[in-house]
Amino acid sequence: MNIYVSNLSFNVEDEDLRGFFEEYGEVTSARVIMDKFTNKSRGFGFVEMSDDAAAQKAIAELDGGMVEGRAIRVSVAKPREERSSSNSNGGGRRSFSNSNNRW
């Protein structure tokens, strides 16, 4: 089962996230999502557990728990939704046809 964990402290790393869930059962993966530009935590992550019953118990017991002074939110991860491509210029960002244009 894939589990979504939010409101994480920016100091939490993959190994820490894995540790929160390992007492409930086998963790097949644990990943804190990092910003691709700053390489800093975005404050959420995903944990995969092989046993659904263990995952449900972990969700029930860890949701609302305090980690480094923050109440974390733990839930079943929802499938990622397709992003709309209705805007042809990248979501409202400016696009220029040549490099002579200035902001």
Specify if 91 maps to a domain: no
CB-based contact 5:49 (threshold 8 Å): no
Q: Which pLDDT band, with edges at 50, 70 and 90, does 91 fall under?
A: low
Mean pLDDT of 16-28: 96
SS3 string of 3-22? Answer: EEEECCCCCCCHHHHHHHHH
Looking at the chain, the whole-number percentage of residues with pLDDT higher than 90 is 73
CATH number at residue 14: 3.30.70.330
Question: DSSP strand E in 17-100: where?
Answer: 27-34, 41-49, 66-67, 70-71, 73-76
What is the number of domains present in the chain?
1
Q: pLDDT at position 103, please?
A: 45
Mean pLDDT of 40-66: 96
Residue 45 belongs to what domain range?
2-76
Specify if 31 maps to a domain: yes
pTM for the whole thing?
A: 0.76
